[in-house]
Structure 1
Amino acid sequence: MAAQIVLFDGFDPLDAIAPFEVLAAGSDEVGGALEVELVSAEGPRRVVSGTRGLALEATSVLDPDRPGYLVVPGASGPVDGDPDDGVETIPVLLARMAQSTAAPLIKQALTNHEVTVAAVCGGSLALAMAGLIENRHAVTHPLGMDVLEATGVRPVHARVVDDGNLISASGVTSGLDLALYLLEREYGPHIAHAVEQLFVYERRGTPWRRPPA
């Protein structure tokens, strides 16, 4: 089983690194059964984040057919500014990601019953802008909840929202909570608790789960 952390130009570093570290620690707890890696739609490359030029290396191509989890981070950058003046605001970066070659791959992953897509912060906005999660329950950063609703998504005010094969988390630090929730869901609370102890971190809030049909 794999956990693919999807990188794109302008991504938020903590949205990617927090889940990466938590899931990697969880993998150690289960004897390496979970393969955690950084990927991009274009394949192996250096991907520059939206925070002071910090870059990470994607080591593989995003594979929507690979069983496991696909984690989509949000973007970082200025909130306000005129795109006509070359200011790459967070909305601009998320819209660009929604129109990128990653979007159809994520769409394919959402149709695969062996894959769960997990979005951190603005990652769910990018999915919403791409038209991939209409009528689904999701959360994003508080500043983007109205945008989420305007795209046809059902906003839920919770730190982590579980809508089956779509899981989302609120602001940037909630990537920790999201990844711990994924570990609990996949391997049980004892694994999530072990990683919590290792990181000296306690999850916040009660995850919202979609009621049974």
Structure 2
Amino acid sequence: MHAQIVLFDGFDPLDVVAPYEVLHAGGMASAGAVTVELVSAEGPREVAGGTGGLALRSTAALDPERAGLILVPGASGPMEDSPDIGAQGESIPALLGRTLTTELPVLLKAAMDNPEITVSTVCGGSLILAMAGLLEGRHATTHHLGMDMLDATGVHPVSARVVDDGDLITGAGVTSGLDLALYLLEREVGPRVAHAVEALFAHERRGVVWRNTGLEPVRF
């Protein structure tokens, strides 16, 4: 499984680094069955995150034709515009909205149309897809402060740590990136590899993994 983790201006570093380390370790534990790289819509470049200007380098352009996994992080910054906090003082909603002016939505749509790709998100990454009109009618989660926005864009919001909606897997708040990536390893490579990585990082997964299967519960 090859994983492409997307960088965009103002990304949340923890949304990127936590899944990257888990997936990279999964590659080591599986003798190379998992590979991971950092990409952007624009191709190789330095990309400034929203936490203190911390930058990471994308090494390639996002490729919606390459089978495997694409992971979209959220943004980091204040909830409202501020001259002192975040990337250029921009709020998280502004940073997420700015991605819609790039080629990223077009590339993500192509990826979601590709049956050989699973698209995943951490935190506000699902809001990028939702604002681009790519999640209507789907089940997804995000940071608790963004659940109303999911609902407003025609998404079925689910309050769970990880939501598995088939070829769309979304994580909730920032640290859910660890649990999301471990779940991806378990689903795609197997539970033994996922457990080995979990033990290596001394991390115990928490919260619910909600799957769109089984009987629909009646309301209490």
- Measured after TM superposition, the shift of residue 187 of structure 1 is 1.1
What residue is the counterpart of 2:181 in the other structure?
179
- Measured after TM superposition, the shift of residue 81 of structure 1 is 2.9
Deviations 1:45-69 (A, max 9, x none): 0000011110000001100011110
Unaligned runs of 5+ in 1: none
- Measured after TM superposition, the shift of residue 34 of structure 1 is 1.5
What residue is the counterpart of 2:156 in the other structure?
154
Deviations 1:146-172 (A, max 9, x none): 111001100000000000110000000
- Measured after TM superposition, the shift of residue 134 of structure 1 is 0.7
1:69 alignment partner, SS class: strand
Label 1:121 to 1:74 Cα distance change in 2 as closer, same or farther (>3 A): same
What residue is the counterpart of 2:40 in the other structure?
40
Task: Give the whole-Å Cα distance in 2 for the aligned partners of 1:58 and 1:131.
Answer: 25
- Measured after TM superposition, the shift of residue 40 of structure 1 is 0.5
> What letter is aligned with 2:59?
T
Contact 1:99–1:130 at 8 Å: present in 2 too?
Answer: no
Task: Give the whole-Å Cα distance in 1 for the aligned partners of 2:75 and 2:155.
Answer: 19
What residue is the counterpart of 2:66 in the other structure?
66
1:1-213, aligned counterparts within 5 Å? 1-81=1-81, 87-211=89-213
> What letter is aligned with 2:74?
G
Task: Say how many residue pairs are matched.
Answer: 211
- Measured after TM superposition, the shift of residue 3 of structure 1 is 0.3
Task: Give the whole-Å Cα distance in 2 for the aligned partners of 1:207 and 1:178.
Answer: 9
> What letter is aligned with 1:178?
L
> What letter is aligned with 2:90?
E
Task: Give the whole-Å Cα distance in 2 for the aligned partners of 1:159 and 1:117.
Answer: 16
2:50 alignment partner, SS class: coil
Deviations 1:103-126 (A, max 9, x none): 110100001111000000000011
The TM-score, its normalising length taken from structure 2, stands at: 0.93
> What letter is aligned with 2:101?
Q
Q: Percent identity?
A: 64
Unaligned runs of 5+ in 2: 216-220
> What letter is aligned with 1:24?
H
Contact 1:98–1:127 at 8 Å: present in 2 too?
Answer: no
RMSD over aligned CA atoms reads 1.4
Task: Give the whole-Å Cα distance in 2 for the aligned partners of 1:162 and 1:173.
Answer: 17
- Measured after TM superposition, the shift of residue 82 of structure 1 is 6.9
Task: Give the whole-Å Cα distance in 1 for the aligned partners of 2:123 and 2:25.
Answer: 22
- Measured after TM superposition, the shift of residue 6 of structure 1 is 0.3
2:43 alignment partner, SS class: coil
> What letter is aligned with 1:180?
L
Task: Give the whole-Å Cα distance in 1 for the aligned partners of 2:192 and 2:100.
Answer: 36
